[in-house]
Structures are given as C-alpha cells and as structure tokens.
Amino acid sequence: TLLSPLRRQRQLCISHSMYSTGRGVELNEGKAFEWYRKSAENGCALAQYNLGVIYYRGGLVAQDFGEALKWYQLAARQNDPEAQYNLGLMYYRGQGVAKDWVTAYQWMLLAASNGIINAELVLKDINADLSPDEIVIVEEKAMEIRNQR
C-alpha cells in the first residue's frame, strides 16, 4: 500500500532513531546516517537537526560546517529549538558562515522563546553590541519566521 506523505515521514523518523539507539535492531551508525538523510530529505525536523549535529561534529562523516548549517536551517525553520540554538551559535561564532550577530540574535531569540536557557546567555552578550534599531529589526524578523510555520 502507498503511505501518505505524513505517514512516510513518521516512518522514516522512527527508522533512524532505531538504528542510532539500537532499539529493536542492532546499533549501526552507518545505517542510522542513511535513515537520517532519507528522513531529513522528507522533511523530518529531528533528522535534519541530527544531520546538522553529525556534520558539525564530524567523525562519522568529515566535519563540514556548511552542511551542518544547511540542516540546522531546515530544522530551525520548523521550530526545532536545539537547531535554532545551534544555528545561532554558528552565526555568533562565524562557523561555516560569516560572523553575523544580528542573525545570531534572531535565532537565539527564537531558541530562547522555545525554552533553550543557554540562548538567554548568548542574547545578553550580543545585546550589548547591537543598537536598539537593530534589535527591533531582528525581533520583527524572528516573528516573521515564527509566523511562517
């Protein structure tokens, strides 16, 4: 039978978590990575976030900040708080992208509003270096992203 797109996405999300944890199948990072990619390409935010982590850290694959940034962006736009935080850190540190405190602030603001406590600390640090006008612009952009969901 054909699966609906949503059911297929859920099934793919479950598959990658089984191989990455060894739940019900033998633990296999290579297979987990394959399923993460399939799931991520089908829109699973959790898989997109996990691919971001894999590429950011390296090891299983070569470290690639550009790929990490790509997957974090996809997950962050689906309101994944950890992806929003990690994406904000990459802009804050200039990893895989030019250092951009305005964009970092935008993602940290979203992450903080979604319960990521460490995002508050980064916001305080960045806040000291942004003008009031920049903060207003960033807050408006963050609301646009939030409302796109």
**Amino acid symbol at 9:** Q
Structure confidence at residue 10 (pLDDT): 55
Q: What secondary structure, in 3-state letters, does 73-126 show?
A: HHHHCCCCHHHHHHHHHHHHHCCCCCCCHHHHHHHHHHHHHCCCHHHHHHHHHH
Note the pLDDT tens digit of each residue in 37-96. 888 998 889 889 989 999 999 988 999 999 999 999 999 999 999 999 999 999 999 999
Report the C-alpha gap between 144 and 2 in whole angstroms: 36
Note the pLDDT tens digit of each residue in 84-141. 999 999 999 999 999 998 899 999 999 999 999 999 999 999 888 888 888 888 888 8
Angle separating helix axes 101-113 and 132-148, nearest 10 degrees: 50
Q: Which of 53, 58, 118 is nearest to 85 (CA)?
A: 118
Structure confidence at residue 71 (pLDDT): 97
Dihedral sign for Cα atoms in the order 136, 141, 142, 146: positive
pLDDT: which is higher, 46 or 21 = 46
Structure confidence at residue 140 (pLDDT): 86
